[in-house]
Structure 1
């Protein structure tokens, strides 16, 4: 990364391994990271903006979304070799750019007001609020621009853009529900929680999974496989957020890599707060079981997705 300011350069770290996941599941991360670095390296942007984008993208994230896109592509192809998901790289990169944009903006003082992300200063602390806003805007735009640049098949491009737009819209709606309410009247607290999280977290995870599969399939091909991927994604999206809520009340900041307990302090709805810890953990188990059942018809090629789901159910950071 060229000419990064000292406060950015010293904080850059490669994506961390996702803990309990077997190494062969993590093999695609090197290709994903190289792909993202290539995208950023070619940007004709001001140096400080390019460096801010790099800081946000190379900040120790688990890369779960591009990893899931990769293995969803592999699952619908029926292949189990390490290159089975390589066609998913543009989709995975686009989703990761949107995810990084969302984290940068979520951390801003007007939103969640966080000064720590993945164990290091958030982007607006490391640079400025103005740069964080602009870097987030640039990453959101870059996600769509990159798809338009590298996807040649018009129908595939339309499908990918539609999925990413739906995932991004859901994520934004979820953040509104989480911070500014706007619910339809008459919803229970658990219904409100579900509405928040199937949008805020689940929508982009669903986009990652479906986009990875779409990269491997022709637009009208293998609809049952795409349906299986969709059900799997819906379940792990909600499960991911329930586990996040559990981490928020059970793990110290130095382990979680971010402030913990802040949702309860802010009076936000959380699954442990609404359902209690035991029932929250039961929901995780139920969603995991349903996710695994959904992808079982895809056979051995879906085993990496099963292992990712099992990891997500027990992660502690």
Structure 2
């Protein structure tokens, strides 16, 4: 398997879907739609949406049928990045090598662009029923994504992250931040693909375990990259967490231990997939990719 090629192929499908789902930049009022598109097409691997597609495909469902769900997940991810970069949050000037949304369009429009993407995501999810999915299944997916994006998921993790700046926090609090601020959307992405594909209880439990370990491994490696990564490859300044007084896995445990902890979570990913056969190869390779990622 050429994992990178398959990732790119699925990302291209999601990008095409987003092109059609997002209002054109010329749609009145144009500035908000320009801002939404600016951030939505600023680069990125579309990893969360790709995992939605790959999970559904692994379980035998035609991946293109779940494109609206994958696109909606990516809209939510983009909204979270726009807001995360704001001066009141992490105050970043660059994202993926380009000026952040608020640096180009101003803070007010950036906030509204994030709001609009989040709203459009749920409108998009509601339209899954038009693709032949039962209303009860669509509702379950909407609830899944809303939970992952809300105060008990992504937003909750962001709140605790902000409140923890400049403080000595315990490892359990750091894990909460990572499992929610980052991991919750990965969990929603993978579980949504599984639900749409009609996963049974055993399959859903296994994939939930995979998603939770994947999300934590992803953020631990993100912590490592913030200290040891290349600014050119990351497209943003490194050392930001340290400068803002944030506790990270390398800061709390040391770089060597943090790498070991990431590897442990990847091993949990692989163990969770033991109930599946070769059809889960993309998900296995996705987990292994985390140990070598540079962006």
**Shorter-normalised TM range:** over 0.9
Deviation at 1:25, TM superposition (A): 3.7
Give the corresponding residue for 1:180. Answer: 163
Contact 2:128–2:138 at 8 Å: present in 1 too?
A: no
Tell me, in whole angstroms, the C-alpha distance in 2 between the residues paired with 1:26 and 1:223: 30
For 1:13-162, list aligned pairs within 5 A. Answer: 21-41=3-23, 45-77=28-60, 84-152=62-130, 153-162=134-143
In structure 1, runs of 5+ residues without a counterpart are 1-19
Contact 1:206–1:230 at 8 Å: present in 2 too?
A: yes
Deviation at 1:188, TM superposition (A): 5.8
Work out whether 1:290 is the aligned partner of 2:268.
yes
Deviation at 1:282, TM superposition (A): 0.5
Give the corresponding residue for 2:174. Answer: 193
Q: CA-to-partner distance for each residue in 1:48-92, whole Å, 9 max, x for gaps?
A: 111111111100111001110011111222x7xxxx422221111
Q: CA-to-partner distance for each residue in 1:85-130, whole Å, 9 max, x for gaps?
A: 2222111111111110000001011111100000010000011111
Give the corresponding residue for 1:302. Answer: 280
Tell me, in whole angstroms, the C-alpha distance in 2 between the residues paired with 1:33 and 1:45: 22
Deviating above 6 A after TM superposition, structure 1's stretches of 4 or more consecutive aligned residues are none
Give the corresponding residue for 2:185. Answer: 204
Tell me, in whole angstroms, the C-alpha distance in 1 between the residues paired with 2:267 and 2:252: 22
Contact 1:73–1:87 at 8 Å: present in 2 too?
A: no
The DSSP-based 3-state class of the residue aligned with 1:140 is: helix
TM-score (normalised: structure 2): 0.92
For 1:226-237, list aligned pairs within 5 A. Answer: 226-237=204-215
Of structures 1 and 2, the one with the larger relative CO (CA 8 A, separation 6+) is 1
In structure 2, runs of 5+ residues without a counterpart are none
Distance 1:226 1:190, change over 3 A: same
Give the root-mean-square deviation of aligned CA atoms. 1.8
The DSSP-based 3-state class of the residue aligned with 2:89 is: coil
